[in-house]
Amino acid sequence: MSIKQVDAAVAARINTWLEGGFDAGTKAAIRKMLDEKQYEELTDAFYRDLEFGTGGLRGIMGHGTNRVNKYTIGMATQGLSNYLKKVYPNEQISVVIAHDNRNNGVELARVTAGVFSANGIRVYFFDALRPTPELSYAIRELNCHSGVMLTASHNPREYNGYKAYWRDGGQVIAPHDKNIIAEVGRVDSISKVKFDAVDDNISMIGAEIDARYIERIKQELVRPEVIRRNPDLNIVFSPIHGAGVKLIPDALKSAGFTNVNLVEEQCVTDGDFPTVVYPNPEEEEAMTLSLRKAGATGADLVMATDPDCDRVGVAVKGPDGRYMLLNGNQTGSLLIHYLLQAWQEQGRLTGSEYVVKTIVTTGMIDKIAASMDVTCYNVLTGFKYIGALMTQLEGKERFIGGGEESYGYLIGEHVRDKDAVVSCLLIAEMAAYYKSQGKSLYDALISLYLEYGLYREKLVSLTKKGKAGAEEIRAMMDNFRNRPPAELGGEKIELVRDYLSGIEKNRTRGTETKLGFPASNVLQFITGSGSVISARPSGTEPKIKFYISVNSHITGADALAQANDELDRLIGKITDDLGG
């Protein structure tokens, strides 16, 4: 066994784990990696501490400082405990803990509960896997100070993660995010972690919260009468092995839908995700079994949720009878239009209502809101910013709905995170509404294009793994920032928005203005025709992401195919220019 083939700093970290108070199984696994000369894997596992970012932890499960395991989770929980006790020194602090179907999720949730309880914190612990939005709801419903969700969302099977929430039910934001990061950083040894659980401080919760949550989200239905008239809407649903199996079938049934066909193979809770390559409803491959079920049953609507059930993918019948997958921008536009139209028809718009989207989400939503005199706020990428705005405006303005292009939506103020459970209810109600008018969701989408313009979007993700990959992503962003392109796809760039410096440069006028957003490592290039190209490193995966949005005007449905082809060619040119 030799450790000389790795960097000295990495070797020192490995020795700390081999000689410190870590369990025998962990030490044996590290020695085995050394014996098998897995030096590249060891370097990646130990070259840094797994970063506790503004949303918590996410990474590959395994042994090492840069891996998700009971020690990195324990240290994060100790840091969060220390911070909670500083912020609330004279209160009995309480938290909620939940997990999804990820491998080791139950064990890591127990470690989290144990550390909180050992620090004198009251823990409400869900008795089995639950959706992330229900955790957010439970924090608010039980008047807790914080919460933790053990999940890696839609990442591949080897990942797990730790999402920290604050007492409003939203993911932690400034100033708490940086303060928690600092406290976690001070827990520089496992000897500082209180691992010995105090069982009296842990209470199990489950069915009673489920029932209250379902009753609450049913209040967001805007046309419940269409469900009563069309209870047999043919729905196919898949949880893709995740937490959606726990609530969505029950919620649809409680709302009045009687014809919900489950993709049984994917209703099996399994962190190995045996039927898919990636458990991500954005991926067509992950929807294969759902679409097969839809074809066999003649479904009106297909829905599938990601492992922690905060995002939903949708498929509908196209004009040729084949099922087509909607992207996140299309579903979001349909939902916002449906909600605002219903509120307008029912006389519920008073001037104080608003919707929210992220800066990389389709501009069609801005147009829809403007057409009905409803404010549309834009926030940085990440649903935590939508939740933070909702908390800021609570009691002053009325939130109707919001979303982001990555298939996450929220209707109503019951939580502060994206919620696939309430989204599935409203998407199903929306499908029933249009069916009652002899239309499909595809027909409704074409109507939006004719009224607001044809929008075409594409996400280009470049994966760059490991230490070298992180450095390459950093270099790419530096190059775009210091030498921004003059044009993309043959279109001249008129505006350059740098959300890190907070400056928008208008190249035509030669002026600079402040953006008014918190600093974020995002760049946007806007052309004269209204194309928007955004670049940002992923906060949860080893990727750099390019969001491309182009649009054009069409005069009739017969012009759709040609316009789509033209926009796709433009997207292709832009992608080539970006090096994607």
Q: So what's the pLDDT on residue 580? A: 62
Contact 252, 225 (CB under 8 A): no
**Rounded Cα distance, 153 and 157, in Å:** 10
User: 198 and 317 share a domain?
Assistant: no
User: 379 and 489 share a domain?
Assistant: no
CB-CB neighbours of 543 under 10 Å: 17
Nearest to 68 by CA among 10, 14, 108: 108
Contact 354, 370 (CB under 8 A): no
Q: CA separation (Å) from 453 to 329, 422, 436, 458, 459? A: 13, 28, 25, 17, 20
**Rounded Cα distance, 365 and 287, in Å:** 26
**Rounded Cα distance, 441 and 118, in Å:** 52
User: 88 and 127 share a domain?
Assistant: yes
**Rounded Cα distance, 402 and 404, in Å:** 7
For Cα atoms 275, 276, 278, give the angle at the middle one, nearest 5 degrees.
155
Percent over 70 (pLDDT), the chain: 98
Work out whether strand 408-411 and strand 375-379 pair parallel, antiparallel, or are unpaired: unpaired
Residue 226 lies in a domain: no
Contact 562, 517 (CB under 8 A): no
User: 150 and 241 share a domain?
Assistant: no
Q: So what's the pLDDT on residue 471? A: 86
User: 380 and 470 share a domain?
Assistant: no
In the predicted structure, residue 99 carries a pLDDT above the cut 70: yes
Q: So what's the pLDDT on residue 499? A: 97
b/e for 409-426, b at 16 or more Cβ within 10 A?
A: bbbbbbbbbbbbbbbbbb
Tokens of residue 150, six digits: 């053990």
What's the structural domain count of the chain?
Answer: 4
Last residue of a domain, one of 431, 452, 473: 452
> Is the bond preceding residue 279 a cis peptide, omega within 30 degrees?
no
User: 259 and 388 share a domain?
Assistant: yes
User: 431 and 556 share a domain?
Assistant: no
Residue 563 lies in a domain: yes
**Rounded Cα distance, 224 and 102, in Å:** 35
CA 496 to centroid of chain Cα atoms: 26
Check which CATH number belongs to the domain holding 478 and give it: 3.30.310
**117 half-sphere exposure, CB direction, 13 A CA radius:** 21
CA 522 to centroid of chain Cα atoms: 17
Tell me: the pLDDT tens digits for 177-236? 889 999 999 999 999 999 999 999 999 999 999 999 999 999 999 999 999 999 999 999
Tell me: the pLDDT tens digits for 250-292? 999 999 999 999 999 999 999 999 999 999 999 999 999 999 9
Mean pLDDT of the region 7-25: 93
Last residue of a domain, one of 410, 427, 452: 452
Residue 223 lies in a domain: no
* 474: DSSP letter: H
Instruction: Single out the catalytic residue among 81, 94, 146, 153.
Output: 153
Which pLDDT band holds residue 1 (cuts at 50, 70, 90)?
Answer: very low
Residue 120 lies in a domain: yes
Tokens of residue 315, six digits: 């498929």
Residue 460 lies in a domain: yes
Which pLDDT band holds residue 557 (cuts at 50, 70, 90)?
Answer: confident
**Rounded Cα distance, 402 and 413, in Å:** 11
SS3 569: helix
CA dihedral 7, 9, 10, 15 (to 10 degrees): 120
**End-to-end Cα distance, the chain:** 42
Tell me: the pLDDT tens digits for 396-436? 999 999 999 999 999 999 999 999 999 999 999 999 999 99
User: 149 and 126 share a domain?
Assistant: yes
**Rounded Cα distance, 386 and 412, in Å:** 12
Mean pLDDT of the region 459-484: 88
Percent over 90 (pLDDT), the chain: 90
In the predicted structure, residue 246 carries a pLDDT above the cut 50: yes
For Cα atoms 97, 99, 100, give the angle at the middle one, nearest 5 degrees.
160
Tell me: the pLDDT tens digits for 526-551? 999 999 999 999 866 678 999 999 99
In the predicted structure, residue 103 carries a pLDDT above the cut 90: yes
538 catalytic per annotation? no
Nearest to 526 by CA among 500, 504, 553: 504
User: 406 and 472 share a domain?
Assistant: no
**Rounded Cα distance, 411 and 480, in Å:** 36
Q: So what's the pLDDT on residue 4? A: 66
Across the strands, what pairs with 492? 487
To the nearest whole number, what is the mean pLDDT of the chain? 95
Tell me: the pLDDT tens digits for 75-86? 999 999 999 999
Residue 225 lies in a domain: no
User: 17 and 83 share a domain?
Assistant: no
**Rounded Cα distance, 534 and 523, in Å:** 6
Q: Would you say the C-alpha torsion 361, 365, 367, 373 has a positive or negative sign? A: negative
What does 6-49 look like in DSSP terms, one character per residue? S-HHHHHHHHHHHHSS--HHHHHHHHHHHHTT-HHHHHHHHSSP
Contact 1, 35 (CB under 8 A): yes
**Rounded Cα distance, 254 and 247, in Å:** 10
Domain that holds residue 486: 454-578
Residue 214 lies in a domain: no
Q: CA separation (Å) from 499 to 380, 473, 504, 513, 515? A: 9, 17, 8, 12, 7
pTM for the whole structure? 0.94
Q: Would you say the C-alpha torsion 419, 420, 421, 425 has a positive or negative sign? A: positive
Last residue of a domain, one of 452, 477, 502: 452
In the predicted structure, residue 525 carries a pLDDT above the cut 70: yes
User: 394 and 459 share a domain?
Assistant: no
Work out whether strand 56-60 and strand 122-126 pair parallel, antiparallel, or are unpaired: unpaired
Check which CATH number belongs to the domain holding 289 and give it: 3.40.120.10
Q: How many residues does the chain have?
A: 580
User: 292 and 430 share a domain?
Assistant: yes
Residue 227 lies in a domain: no
**Rounded Cα distance, 337 and 371, in Å:** 10
Nearest to 239 by CA among 257, 226, 252, 228: 252
